[in-house]
Amino acid sequence: MSSLPTGFVRYAQQQSARRYKAAGAPEVTYYRLNRGKNVDPLYGEPLSPASVSPSGAPWNFDGPVKFCGVIEYTEYDDQDPEVQEALIVRGTAFLSFAIWAWQCAHMERGHYTGVIPKIGDVLGVHGEWWNVVKAGRIGPILNSGDYTDYKLDLRRNSKFTPDRKLT
């Protein structure tokens, strides 16, 4: 744990959130995969989409929560188009956002504030949907165990868009 006072940590995290808003960061629509409802309670294995709900809804997500974040596209460097019957584009990006904004967005929805972004979550930015493939914290405060921001590695495939899991 951190030896820094809680008030100082909160202040640093709030300043990070203000920085994203001041920069005009786009709104992120975030859906968190509900791992408890998508796992077989007896065997601990992932359930197939058809067995999650009788209506055939693919997965069970909590959300959406909305907050501001900065997305850095890298698809121009490693864009891998395929031409079959239609153009298929795969891309990668990074998203960074303030931990304080994440916690406030979850408190507004009445969720527990200790939830963190994880692999398998789905988010939308600028009308494009992305899968979270890696999640971590960045911006340590004075070499302590506290951080100001999250950074997510994202993947997109135009043939199998992530938003298909939400419907």
Instruction: Tell me the average pLDDT across 59-66.
Output: 80
pLDDT confidence of residue 47: 64
Q: What is the DSSP letter of 59?
A: -
Per the model's pLDDT, the better-predicted residue between 164 and 130 turns out to be 130
Instruction: Tell me the average pLDDT across 56-67.
Output: 75
pLDDT confidence of residue 81: 56
Q: Work out the pLDDT band at 84, boundaries 50, 70, 90.
A: low
Instruction: Tell me the C-alpha distance between 126 and 72, whole Å.
Output: 12
Query: Is pLDDT at 134 greater than 90 in this prediction?
Result: yes
In this prediction the pTM is: 0.76
Instruction: Measure CA 44 to chain center.
Output: 23
Residue 71's contacts (CB-CB under 8 Å, 6 or more residues apart) are 26, 28, 93, 94, 95, 125, 126, 154
Residue 39's contacts (CB-CB under 8 Å, 6 or more residues apart) are 45, 46, 47
Instruction: Tell me the C-alpha distance between 14 and 21, whole Å.
Output: 11
Which tokens go with 12? 């640093």
Residue 105: Cβ-neighbour burial (10 angstroms; 0-12, 13-18, 19+): buried
Instruction: Tell me the average pLDDT across 83-105.
Output: 80
Q: In DSSP terms, which residues pair with 66 in a beta bridge?
A: 29
For 106, other C-beta atoms within 10 Å of its C-beta total 20
